[in-house]
């Protein structure tokens, strides 16, 4: 669930002192070619996959806590598998003990929350032909290669990412990841998220899942095969308009916001009445089931990989 994080340490002096004293992270500094001196800041280092950046006034930790867990427990640097709530709590304890990250003494600036689900269809077909728009707009970022099939829909404070997780990790499955990337502190604060300590709360996890679900509901996912079953030709023609991004772009520029919202409601109704939303409904249920599964677990002490 929780993946990439970026936060800074509120007690910077204590963190810096403990990191340098312990030697748990090899820090490097820049070399000034003109003076021949090693500059004090910035200092940079890695703890497994996490990046530690020590600047004059702030010290940051950035990276995937999911990958950190897999690195330590399994000796593998990936985030393809599931990452349960209790495992996140375990890795927080590890970070506190090993790299002196006190959860209540941190300030989160970026956060990613998502779920990997195996969908009942080919993942590439789903992304290429069924996932059409988000909020009636095309993807801001669209990458399709032999090893990647990725969509990102960017908003001011966050973005929604949907991509073929199996293809990314060269697996013969149909695992797709749905993920919200929060990039503004004001949205985090609105949800009651200030520090890593707040992420220990089950209620906060529920709020993050609800945010993901709200964004999922803004997607337009159409079972195009169902179009042949639409009996009314006029209705079928209208649905073809509704699934065309240019139609929505032109409409938004030519009518009032009130009319635009009415047409959006019409679109949703037509899709539902003609049962073209069966895939979206099924995937939404898979997301709900996976979240419940990820929250219902019991933590154990981390056993470090040999």
Residue carrying structure tokens 């994080």? 5
- pLDDT for 233 equals 64
Of residues 306 and 85, more confidently modeled:
85
Give the span between the Cα atoms of 306 and 44, in whole angstroms: 27
Whether 305 shows a pLDDT value over 70: the answer reads: no
Exposed/middle/buried for residue 214 (C-beta within 10 Å: 0-12, 13-18, 19+): exposed
Per-chain mean pLDDT for the chain: 91
Whether 35 shows a pLDDT value over 70: the answer reads: no
- pLDDT for 226 equals 60
| Best CA proximity match to 46, nearest among 71, 83, 78 | 71
303 membership: H or E segment, kind and range: none
As a whole number, mean pLDDT of residues 66-81 equals 93
Q: What's the CA dihedral at 31, 37, 41, 46 to 10 degrees?
A: 50
- pLDDT for 273 equals 82
- pLDDT for 101 equals 96
| Best CA proximity match to 138, nearest among 229, 261, 249, 45 | 249
Q: What is the pLDDT of residues 102-155, one digit of tens each?
A: 999 999 999 999 999 999 999 999 999 999 999 999 999 999 998 999 999 999
Of the pLDDT bands very low, low, confident and very high (cuts 50, 70, 90), residue 36 is low
Q: What is the pLDDT of residues 161-214, one digit of tens each?
A: 999 999 988 888 999 999 999 999 999 999 999 999 999 999 999 999 999 999
Give the span between the Cα atoms of 3 and 66, in whole angstroms: 5
Give the span between the Cα atoms of 257 and 264, in whole angstroms: 10
Q: What is the pLDDT of residues 232-279, one digit of tens each?
A: 666 667 778 888 889 999 998 999 999 999 989 988 888 888 888 999
- pLDDT for 272 equals 86
């Amino acid at each position: 669930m929780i993946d990439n994080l970026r936060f800074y340490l509120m007690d910077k002096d204590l963190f810096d002192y403990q990191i340098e004293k312990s030697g748990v992270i090899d820090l490097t500094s820049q070399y000034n070619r003109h003076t021949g001196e090693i500059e004090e800041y910035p200092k940079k280092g890695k703890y497994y996959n996490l990046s530690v950046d020590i600047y004059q006034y702030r010290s940051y930790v950035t990276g995937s806590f999911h990958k950190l867990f897999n690195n330590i427990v399994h000796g593998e640097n990936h985030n393809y598998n599931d990452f349960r709530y209790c495992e996140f709590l375990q890795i927080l304890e590890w970070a506190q003990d090993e790299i002196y990250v006190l959860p209540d003494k941190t300030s989160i600036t970026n956060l990613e929350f998502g779920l990997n689900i195996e969908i009942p269809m080919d993942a590439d077909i789903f992304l290429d032909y069924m996932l059409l728009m988000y909020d009636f707009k095309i993807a801001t970022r669209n990458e399709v290669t032999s090893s990647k099939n990725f969509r990102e829909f960017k908003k001011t404070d966050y973005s929604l990412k949907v991509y073929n997780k199996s293809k990314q990790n060269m697996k013969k499955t149909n695992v797709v990841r749905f993920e919200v990337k929060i990039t503004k502190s004001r949205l985090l604060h609105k949800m009651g998220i200030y520090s890593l300590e707040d992420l220990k709360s089950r209620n906060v996890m529920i709020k993050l899942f609800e945010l993901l679900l709200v964004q999922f509901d803004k997607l337009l996912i159409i079972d195009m095969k169902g179009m042949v079953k639409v009996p009314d030709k006029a209705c079928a023609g209208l649905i073809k308009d509704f699934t065309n991004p240019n139609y929505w772009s032109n409409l938004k520029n030519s009518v009032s916001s009130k009319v635009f919202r009415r047409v959006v409601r019409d679109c949703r109704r037509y899709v539902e009445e003609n049962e073209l939303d069966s895939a979206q409904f099924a995937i939404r249920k898979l997301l709900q089931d996976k979240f419940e599964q990820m929250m219902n677990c019991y933590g154990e002490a981390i056993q470090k990989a040999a």
